Amino acid sequence: MSQTHTDEPHGTGLGQRLNWLRAGVLGANDGIVSVASLVVGVAGATTDNAALLIAGLAGLIGGAISMALGEYVSVSSQRDSEHALIAKEREELRTMPEQELAELTELYRQRGLSEQTAHQVAVELTAHDALAAHLEVELGIDQDDLVNPWHAALSSAIAFTAGAILPLLAILLPPPAWRVPVTFAAVLVALAATGALAARIGGSSPVRSSIRLVIGGALALAATWLIGTLLGTTGVV
């Protein structure tokens, strides 16, 4: 017995949700790694709480703004391109409807339909909503599900901030001797978790994604800690 699952999204708003999740996961990863690298580098040179706090907050605020601006510009460009393609397709349907119908028929024929069936499908879809039919088949665009730059920017900034708070707390709360080891452990666990989440969103291997992030994060932390330690030892800072 078949059953209709009314709670399934069936693509409605899916593009915007995936874009929001993608920006959020990337923002969290960047917040974790960039702020952790910054505070671990400073911790290698000094144990002063004020210096660590200032460095961490500067990295958090600057990084969150930078991520939001970058995501907004990127998604805005994508949205502008989509609007331009929609306008172009609308104009072509207005000025050359017969050619567009033939094109739609050919596209369905290339998908495996017979000539007669492809033509019938193209005619019926054109009568229902010609623009939507062409956008879906030709360009893979849903005009009711365009990406939103404000959503992407906001989710990226919030996620960056959430990710950045973890290494900031990990470096400030423990005793000086435990600060760097605790931060290393907390950051690598968090990166493994966000890597697994990103893999689930993208449908890839959670293990492979987590390992890549953990290795990359460990290298970044080790490099900045070593630089901070060397500078602190030589008295540069």
Place of tokens 């080891």: 181
Q: E strands of 88-237, at which residues?
A: none
pLDDT score at 1 = 39
Best CA proximity match to 150, nearest among 2, 9, 23, 10: 23
Give the structural domain span for 135: 16-229
pTM for this predicted structure = 0.71
- Does some domain include residue 11? no
What crossing angle do the helices spanning 149-172 and 49-95 adopt, rounded to 10°?
160
Q: In whole angstroms, give the CA distance from residue 71 to residue 157.
A: 9
pLDDT score at 25 = 77
- Please list the pLDDT of the chain residue by residue as tens digits (237 residues): 344 443 434 344 555 566 566 667 778 888 999 999 999 999 988 888 999 999 999 999 999 999 889 888 988 888 888 788 788 878 887 888 888 888 878 888 887 778 888 788 778 877 887 777 777 777 777 666 667 788 878 888 898 999 999 999 999 999 988 999 999 999 999 999 888 887 787 777 888 888 988 999 899 999 999 998 888 766 555
- Does some domain include residue 38? yes
pLDDT score at 156 = 84
Domain count within the chain: 1
- Does some domain include residue 3? no
- Does some domain include residue 7? no
- Does some domain include residue 237? no
Helix and strand numbers, DSSP H then E, in the chain: 7, 0
Question: Are the C-beta atoms of residues 106 and 118 closer than 8 Å to each other?
Answer: yes
- Does some domain include residue 235? no
- Does some domain include residue 4? no
pLDDT score at 56 = 92
- Does some domain include residue 8? no
82, 100, 119, 137, 217 from 93: Cα distances, Å: 17, 6, 16, 14, 51
